[in-house]
Amino acid sequence: MTEPSGQYSLGNMGMNAEEALYSEQIHDVVAAVDQDGDGRIDMIAYDTDGDGVADKFTLDTDGDGSADSVALDRDGDGKVDFIGRDRDGDGYLDVVATDTDGDGTLETVRESAG
């Protein structure tokens, strides 16, 4: 996974399920979910390394049609070890939590001053 530090491509959101699964996306789509039942996708699970297992999840938590959160399994152990949220929509993560020691607990949280 080679995304620049602090900025993550969150991909497209707000489409229907068929568009999410069969349109061009940033990575292979494993699942697309409409969590709030409004007919628009607000969670997409991606396979970034081609092994058929989801290791990147993007979410639209505010329902505006744009992803604002990302969760990653960076070491491929099946557990999320990084969560980031772009609160102001500028494309940069404002809050991040990471599992720095591999124990499954997100113990390091950083928040931007802005």
Report the domain count for the chain: 1
* 28 within a domain of the structure (yes/no): yes
Q: Which two tokens stand for residue 27?
A: 């990575």
Q: What stretches of 48-94 adopt beta strand conformation (E)? A: 56-59, 69-72, 82-85
Average pLDDT over residues 8-20: 71
* 101 within a domain of the structure (yes/no): no
Q: Which two tokens stand for residue 74?
A: 């960076």
Q: Running DSSP on this structure, what letter comes out for residue 17? A: H
Give counts: helices (H), strands (E), the chain: 1, 7
* 4 within a domain of the structure (yes/no): no
* 48 within a domain of the structure (yes/no): yes
* 112 within a domain of the structure (yes/no): no
What is the residue range of 53's domain?
17-78+85-90
* 43 within a domain of the structure (yes/no): yes
Place of tokens 């102001």: 88
Which residues have a Cβ under 8 Å from the Cβ of 12 and sit 6 or more positions away? 20, 23, 25, 67
* 10 within a domain of the structure (yes/no): no
Entry pTM: 0.79
pLDDT in tens, 33-90: 888 888 888 999 999 888 989 999 999 988 888 889 999 998 888 899 999 999 888 8
- What pLDDT shows up at residue 3? 45
